[in-house]
Amino acid sequence: MDTSNSPRLTSETTPLVPAGASKKPKTPLPKLQIGILMTLQLVEPIASMSIFPYINQLIKELDITAGDDAAVGYYAGIIESLFFVAQTLTAFAWSRLSDRIGRKPVLLMGLSGTCISMLCFGLSTTFWGLVISRCMCGVLNGNVSVMKTMVGELTDSTNMAQGFALIPIMWCIGGFVGPLTGGTLARPQDNWPRLFAHIFWSKYPYFLPCAVSACGLVLGFFVLLFFLEETLSTKRRPKLTKTTLGISNGVDSDNREGLSHTSNMSMRSLLIPTIIIPIANYAMLALLDIALVAILPLFFSTPIYLGGLGFSPSRIGLWMAIFAMADGTFQALFFAKIVDWVGPKRLFCVSVTCFMPAMLMFPIMSWLVHTRGTVDHAITFALISQISLTIIWDMAYGTVFMFITASAPAKSVLGAVNGLGQTSASMARVVGPAFATSLFAFSKEHNILNGNAVYVVLIMLAGVLRLLGSQLPDDIQDRDE
């Protein structure tokens, strides 16, 4: 759409389509290709999330904590943090490689690496074995950013919201199925002694959930191998028609040469404001989101006298499952429609603003449970309100993915741009959990601001994110070919 002759305002209230202009007709999503990508997007979180139900028990059985149950969380945290450290060090390299050799080969290597690392995890009998296998998973898998790149290449400005809305839905489903798989299949000799009577299952009691997850990854590998089409323009096979044959030696070769030159742009040349601003928003969003994810179960499990709710593990699991299902359903049904209605920038700003009242719900619930002495209907209402605010908050992910995709100066460097974004988000996820939980404990232990200092700090950081969000462009434009 040509807007060169129409004035452009720079305020947040700028509509996505200028008044009086006709809307560009919406391009249908390529359902088969998007469906294959979403299948891959599903099998990976199922594999990664399947370890959480049994990881603490596994660490206890390794006898590295000397009977100190409080140290179990420390060792489990090391394993997960090292995964994000490894991903931080390699995500950009994988994305950059996908700009050179194609998206499909990198995805195949990523699925293979994740599959091997899951099998190694199930066969590990030492703490260092667990550490190496998780680091291997982080090093060998750059698929998260490459999949986002492919969604960006399969969509345009008219259907991008529909495409990116599917990514958090798959993660919600994976976050539900993965722990269910891991919790059900761990230690099969205890649940099905006749079926798993072999000594192998007593020596490796956590191999079965890893093997089932690996089977899902193998299935995804072959679906990708045979049915997924390459989206990198320089690696796609042109259709042999009279038109393409006529231009194959002329304009097309010039375009490929130009795209090849663009894909070799240095990292420094990508560090421009139009790219840095969306990535900075994504990094801050990831930091606050992982902090919320870390604090939520901690607040639920903290005793009432310390300002928590004193929930049992089963009750915590119930509330987390309710959130996952509600979030996935809402994103599937309403995200794309809301983006079309209010515009991506305004939706992002509204979404990140919801983090502040969501944080305020924590001290409100502490005060309610302290004054009432029990968890009653008022606490339940506050929890439902917090879940509603967090669902709106999660829409910020879909919109920031759109801005990062649109920030690439050309599709041939889209992988590198997404790699920078994933690297920044992974760095935030390394720092976030330890930062949030340590600040939570420090606030409670020293009774700073009546134990609520952690929420004040996170609300202030949310204000920084809101300011960063105001610097995003007013609309989403198609990238150059």
Per-residue pLDDT tens listing for the chain (481 residues): 444 444 333 333 344 444 444 456 778 888 899 999 998 888 888 888 788 778 877 887 887 766 665 566 667 777 877 888 888 888 888 888 988 899 999 999 999 999 999 999 999 989 899 999 999 988 887 788 888 889 888 888 788 888 888 887 887 788 778 878 888 888 898 889 888 988 999 999 999 999 999 999 999 999 999 999 998 877 666 554 444 444 444 444 444 444 444 455 666 777 788 889 999 999 999 999 988 887 887 777 777 777 778 777 567 767 877 787 788 888 888 888 898 899 899 999 999 999 999 999 988 888 888 777 676 788 889 889 998 999 999 899 889 988 998 888 877 788 888 888 888 988 888 888 778 877 877 787 778 888 788 889 999 999 999 999 999 998 876 554 5
Q: Do 344 and 446 belong together in one domain?
A: yes
Q: Which of 229, 253, 288 is the last residue of a domain?
A: 229
Domain encompassing residue 119: 31-229
Q: Is 240 left (phi over 0), alpha (psi -120 to 50) or beta?
A: beta
Query: How many structural domains are present in the chain?
Result: 2
Would residue 357 count as lying in a domain? Answer: yes
CATH number assigned to the domain comprising residue 173: 1.20.1250.20
3-class DSSP state of 26: coil
Q: Which of 229, 250, 282 is the last residue of a domain?
A: 229
Q: Do 57 and 172 belong together in one domain?
A: yes
Count CB-CB contacts under 10 A for residue 397. Answer: 23
Distance CA 139, CA 339 (A): 35
Would residue 243 count as lying in a domain? Answer: no
Predicted confidence at residue 453, as pLDDT, reads 86
Would residue 18 count as lying in a domain? Answer: no
Q: Which of 208, 229, 250 is the last residue of a domain?
A: 229
Q: Do 268 and 146 belong together in one domain?
A: no
Q: Are the CB atoms for 38 and 223 separated by under 8 Å?
A: no
Which contacts (CB < 8 Å, 24+ apart) does range 16-21 have?
16/340, 16/343, 16/344, 16/474, 16/475, 16/476
Distance CA 208, CA 214 (A): 10
How many residues in total does the chain contain? 481
Q: Do 307 and 372 belong together in one domain?
A: yes
Cα–Cα distance list, 92 to 130, 220, 416, 422 (Å): 24, 23, 6, 7
Predicted confidence at residue 10, as pLDDT, reads 37
Q: Do 217 and 366 belong together in one domain?
A: no
Predicted confidence at residue 369, as pLDDT, reads 82
Predicted confidence at residue 29, as pLDDT, reads 86
Q: Do 284 and 189 belong together in one domain?
A: no
DSSP code, position 187: S
Distance CA 298, CA 163 (A): 34
Burial level of 293, CB count in 10 A (0-12/13-18/19+)? middle
Among residues 181, 43, 194, which one has the least CA distance to residue 122? 181
Q: Are the CB atoms for 176 and 325 separated by under 8 Å?
A: yes
Predicted confidence at residue 261, as pLDDT, reads 47
Q: Do 144 and 49 belong together in one domain?
A: yes
Let me know how many helices (H) and strands (E) the chain has, helices first: 20, 0
Would residue 472 count as lying in a domain? Answer: yes
Q: Are the CB atoms for 196 and 205 separated by under 8 Å?
A: no
Would residue 15 count as lying in a domain? Answer: no
3-state helix, strand, coil in the chain (%, to 5): 75, 0, 25
Distance CA 437, CA 443 (A): 10
Predicted confidence at residue 123, as pLDDT, reads 93
Q: Do 409 and 340 belong together in one domain?
A: yes
Lookup result for tokens 């998973």: 137
Would residue 121 count as lying in a domain? Answer: yes
- The first and second tokens of residue 151, run together, are 């969604």
Listing DSSP states for 388-418 in one string gives: HHHHHHHHHHHHHHHHHHHH-SBGGGHHHHH
Predicted confidence at residue 23, as pLDDT, reads 59
Q: Are the CB atoms for 206 and 133 separated by under 8 Å?
A: no
Count CB-CB contacts under 10 A for residue 399. Answer: 32
Listing DSSP states for 309-363 in one string gives: ----HHHHHHHHHHHHHHHHHHHHHHHHHHHHHH-HHHHHHHHHHTHHHHHHHHH
- The first and second tokens of residue 363, run together, are 């001290």
Distance CA 185, CA 363 (A): 38
Q: Do 280 and 220 belong together in one domain?
A: no
DSSP code, position 410: B
Distance CA 408, CA 479 (A): 7
Q: Do 208 and 330 belong together in one domain?
A: no
Lookup result for tokens 């969380």: 73
